[in-house]
């Protein structure tokens, strides 16, 4: 499952100097291509609503093999996402950020999600999503 948080529906138009000009459709296409090389598929979703993301994480526990998540601003504020992801201990979880959150405003340096993620990828543009899908596939292969 590929989850994208608030404002990522505006990718390509919102702050292109920070996030680039690639769109969310470009992200989803990249992830689908990478997953297909591993015989996997991607269920891509985006929401500006924290509760909807929590519901999808709960759904992933029953229907998906792993989660790639860009929680966006919820990274820095959402204990609810942290708690939901903590229930997914059987699934690999990779957190991804388009920009390097550690080179940005101080409040962005902490992510609640990072504490439960198997890996964190930041600052690689949308290429980071491809890395995240690769990592989930590798972790799944290692787990059998």
- Match 């229930």 to its residue by tokens: 87
Is the torsion defined by CA of 92, 101, 18, 123 positive or negative? negative
Q: Phi first, then psi: what are they for 96, rounded to 5°?
A: -135, 140
**Catalytic site includes residue 19:** yes
Active-site residue among 74, 97, 112, 129?
A: 97
From 19, 74, 112, 129, the catalytic residue: 19
* Cβ neighbour number for residue 43 with a 10 Å cutoff: 15
Does residue 97 have an active-site annotation?
Answer: yes
What residue has token string 């990249």? 30
Query: Cβ atoms within 10 A of the Cβ of 52, count?
Result: 14
Q: Which residues are catalytic?
A: 19, 97
């Amino acid at each position: 499952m590929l989850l994208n948080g608030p404002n990522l529906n505006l990718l390509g138009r919102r702050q292109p100097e920070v996030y680039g000009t690639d769109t969310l459709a470009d992200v989803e296409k990249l992830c689908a291509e990478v997953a297909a090389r591993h015989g996997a598929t991607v269920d891509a979703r985006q929401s500006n609503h924290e509760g909807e993301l929590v519901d999808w994480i709960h759904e992933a526990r029953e229907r998906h093999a792993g989660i790639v998540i860009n929680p966006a601003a919820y990274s820095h504020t959402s204990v609810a996402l942290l708690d939901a992801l903590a229930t997914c201990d059987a699934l690999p979880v990779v957190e991804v950020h388009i920009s390097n959150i550690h080179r940005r405003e101080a409040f962005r340096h902490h992510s609640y999600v990072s504490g439960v993620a198997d890996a964190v990828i930041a600052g690689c543009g949308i290429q980071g999503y491809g890395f995240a899908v690769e990592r989930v596939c590798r972790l799944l292969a290692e787990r059998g």
